[in-house]
Chain A
Amino acid sequence: MPSAVAAKWKFAAPPKALAAALAEKFSDRPERVSTKPVDRAIYGRDLWPRELLRLRQGIPPEGPAAIVLAREARDVSDAVSLARELSIPLVPYSGGSGVCGGAFSVADSLLVDLKGLNQIRRIDAKSGLVEAEGGVNGEKLERELNHAGFTLGHFPSSIYCSTLGGWLAARSAGQLSTKYGKIEDMVVSLEAVLPDGSLIRTPEVPRSSAGPDFKQLLVGSEGTLGVIIAATLRIHRYPEHREFFSFAFPTWDAACGAVREVLQQDLKPAVVRLYDEADTQINAAHLKLPIKGILGVFVSEGEKRLTEFEARAVGKVCEAAGGSPLGEAPARRWWDHRYDVSYNLSKVLPNAGMILDTMEVAATWKNLPALYAGVRAALSKGSMMVLCHLSHAYLTGASLYFSVVARAKDEASVLGHYDGLWKGALDAALEAGGTVSHHHGVGRLKGLWMVREHEAFQELFAGVKERLDPKGLFNPGNLGLGMKPSKPVKRAAAKKPKKRKA
Chain B
Amino acid sequence: MSDLRILDDFRKEIEYCTFCPKMCRFSCPVAETELRETVTPTGKQTIVHLIHKGALPLTDESVEIFFKCTGCLHCQEYCLHEIDVPRSLEAARTYAYREGKTLPAVFQLAERMRRFGNPYGRALLPELRKLAPEKYFQEGAGIVLYPGAHLIAERSRTLRRLLGVLAALGVEVFLPNAEALSAGIELLDAGDREGFAGHAAKVKKMLEKAGEVVFAAPQDAAAARQRYPEFGQALGGKGTTLPEFLLAHLEPAKDRLKALSGRKVAYHDPCSLVRRLDVVEAPRKILELCGVQIVEAPWKGRDANCCGAGGAYADVFPEDATAMARKRMEEFGSLRGVPLVTASPRCECHLDGAKADEGIQVLDVVDIVAESLGVN
Q: Do A and B belong to a common assembly?
A: yes
Residues of A whose CB lies within 8 Å of any CB of B are 2-9, 34, 36-39, 41-43, 47, 52, 55-56, 58, 60, 69, 71, 93, 95-97, 99, 113, 115-116, 118, 135, 137, 139-140, 143-144, 146-147, 158, 160-161, 339-340, 342-343, 345-347, 349-350
Q: Residues of B contacting A42 with CB < 8 Å?
A: 37-38, 43, 46-47
- Rounded to whole Å, the gap between the CB of A135 and the closest CB of chain B is 7
Are the CB atoms of A41 and B16 closer together than 8 Å? no
Which residues of B45-104 have CB atoms within 8 Å of chain A's CB atoms?
A: 46-47, 49-50, 53-57, 59, 61-62, 65, 78-81
The answer to the question of B298 belonging to the interface, with a C-beta cut-off of 8 Å to chain A, is yes
Q: Residues of B contacting A69 with CB < 8 Å?
A: 35-36
Are the CB atoms of B61 and A41 closer together than 8 Å? no
Given A9-B55, A143-B298, A343-B20, also A3-B26 (CB < 8 A): no
Are the CB atoms of B18 and A350 closer together than 8 Å? yes
Are the CB atoms of B16 and A118 closer together than 8 Å? no
The answer to the question of B15 belonging to the interface, with a C-beta cut-off of 8 Å to chain A, is yes
Residue of B nearest to A8 (CB): B55
Name the contact of B65 in the complex, choosing from A38, A47, A135 (C-beta under 8 A): A38
Given A161-B21, A350-B19, also A41-B50 (CB < 8 A): yes
Are the CB atoms of A345 and B20 closer together than 8 Å? yes
- Rounded to whole Å, the gap between the CB of B217 and the closest CB of chain A is 29
- Rounded to whole Å, the gap between the CB of B226 and the closest CB of chain A is 24
Distance A161 CA – B25 CA, assembled complex (angstroms): 6
- Rounded to whole Å, the gap between the CB of B344 and the closest CB of chain A is 24
Are the CB atoms of B15 and A43 closer together than 8 Å? no
Name the contact of B47 in the complex, choosing from A38, A118, A160 (C-beta under 8 A): A38
Residue of B nearest to A9 (CB): B55
Are the CB atoms of B37 and A6 closer together than 8 Å? no
Are the CB atoms of B47 and A96 closer together than 8 Å? no
Distance A42 CA – B299 CA, assembled complex (angstroms): 29
Name the contact of B81 in the complex, choosing from A5, A137, A346 (C-beta under 8 A): A346
Are the CB atoms of B54 and A115 closer together than 8 Å? no
Are the CB atoms of A137 and B53 closer together than 8 Å? no
- Rounded to whole Å, the gap between the CB of A54 and the closest CB of chain B is 12
Distance A3 CA – B46 CA, assembled complex (angstroms): 12
Residue of B nearest to A148 (CB): B298
Some 21 contacts from A to B, beta carbons below 8 A apart, are A2-B15, A4-B53, A5-B53, A7-B55, A37-B61, A38-B47, A41-B47, A47-B21, A58-B55, A96-B37, A113-B36, A113-B37, A137-B25, A146-B298, A158-B21, A160-B24, A161-B23, A343-B23, A343-B79, A346-B19, A349-B19
Distance A390 CA – B291 CA, assembled complex (angstroms): 53
Given A42-B47, A113-B37, A147-B298, also A3-B55 (CB < 8 A): no
Residue of A nearest to B14 (CB): A350
- Rounded to whole Å, the gap between the CB of B277 and the closest CB of chain A is 25
Q: Residues of B contacting A115 with CB < 8 Å?
A: 35-37
Name the contact of A144 in the complex, choosing from B25, B59, B79, B298 (C-beta under 8 A): B298
Q: Residues of B contacting A144 with CB < 8 Å?
A: 298
Are the CB atoms of A350 and B54 closer together than 8 Å? no
- Rounded to whole Å, the gap between the CB of A410 and the closest CB of chain B is 19
Q: Residues of B contacting A339 with CB < 8 Å?
A: 23
Given A58-B53, A346-B81, also A39-B20 (CB < 8 A): no
Residue of A nearest to B44 (CB): A42
Name the contact of B26 in the complex, choosing from A96, A140, A342, A345 (C-beta under 8 A): A140
- Can you name 6 extra interface pairs (CB under 8 A) apart from A97-B22, A137-B25? A9-B55, A39-B38, A113-B37, A144-B298, A161-B26, A350-B16
The answer to the question of B17 belonging to the interface, with a C-beta cut-off of 8 Å to chain A, is yes
Are the CB atoms of B23 and A160 closer together than 8 Å? yes
- Rounded to whole Å, the gap between the CB of A231 and the closest CB of chain B is 18
- Rounded to whole Å, the gap between the CB of A297 and the closest CB of chain B is 20
Are the CB atoms of A9 and B56 closer together than 8 Å? yes
Q: Residues of A contacting B46 with CB < 8 Å?
A: 41-42, 55
Q: Residues of A contacting B49 with CB < 8 Å?
A: 5
The answer to the question of B249 belonging to the interface, with a C-beta cut-off of 8 Å to chain A, is no
- Rounded to whole Å, the gap between the CB of B245 and the closest CB of chain A is 33
Residue of A nearest to B11 (CB): A2
Are the CB atoms of A160 and B56 closer together than 8 Å? no
Q: Residues of A contacting B47 with CB < 8 Å?
A: 38, 41-42
Name the contact of B80 in the complex, choosing from A96, A135, A343 (C-beta under 8 A): A343
Q: Residues of A contacting B54 with CB < 8 Å?
A: 5-6, 8
Distance A177 CA – B15 CA, assembled complex (angstroms): 34
Given A55-B18, A143-B299, also A37-B37 (CB < 8 A): no
- Rounded to whole Å, the gap between the CB of A212 and the closest CB of chain B is 35
Are the CB atoms of B19 and A345 closer together than 8 Å? yes
Are the CB atoms of B61 and A346 closer together than 8 Å? no
Residue of B nearest to A343 (CB): B80
Distance A347 CA – B19 CA, assembled complex (angstroms): 8
Distance A303 CA – B43 CA, assembled complex (angstroms): 42
Q: Residues of B contacting A343 with CB < 8 Å?
A: 20, 23, 79-81
Are the CB atoms of A160 and B25 closer together than 8 Å? yes
Are the CB atoms of B21 and A97 closer together than 8 Å? yes
Q: Closest 10 interchain pairs by CB?
A: A5-B53, A346-B16, A350-B15, A349-B19, A343-B80, A161-B22, A115-B35, A137-B26, A147-B298, A116-B35
Distance A139 CA – B77 CA, assembled complex (angstroms): 14
Q: Residues of B contacting A2 with CB < 8 Å?
A: 11, 15
Q: Residues of A contacting B19 with CB < 8 Å?
A: 3, 52, 55-56, 345-346, 349-350
Residue of B nearest to A117 (CB): B35
Distance A139 CA – B53 CA, assembled complex (angstroms): 33
- Rounded to whole Å, the gap between the CB of A96 and the closest CB of chain B is 6
- Rounded to whole Å, the gap between the CB of A235 and the closest CB of chain B is 16
Q: Residues of B contacting A5 with CB < 8 Å?
A: 49-50, 53-55
- Rounded to whole Å, the gap between the CB of A145 and the closest CB of chain B is 10
- Rounded to whole Å, the gap between the CB of B311 and the closest CB of chain A is 19
Given A8-B55, A9-B56, A143-B298, also A38-B38 (CB < 8 A): yes
Which residues of B330-352 have CB atoms within 8 Å of chain A's CB atoms?
A: none
Are the CB atoms of B35 and A135 closer together than 8 Å? yes
- Rounded to whole Å, the gap between the CB of B229 and the closest CB of chain A is 29
Q: Residues of A contacting B61 with CB < 8 Å?
A: 36-38
Q: Residues of A contacting B81 with CB < 8 Å?
A: 343, 346-347
Are the CB atoms of B22 and A38 closer together than 8 Å? no
Distance A38 CA – B92 CA, assembled complex (angstroms): 15
Q: Residues of B contacting A58 with CB < 8 Å?
A: 53, 55
Which residues of B1-39 have CB atoms within 8 Å of chain A's CB atoms?
A: 11, 15-26, 32, 35-38
Distance A256 CA – B258 CA, assembled complex (angstroms): 65
Among the interface residues A56, A161, A342, A347, which one has the most CB atoms of the partner chain B within 10 A?
A: A161
Residue of A nearest to B15 (CB): A350
Are the CB atoms of A345 and B36 closer together than 8 Å? no
Q: Residues of B contacting A161 with CB < 8 Å?
A: 21-23, 25-26
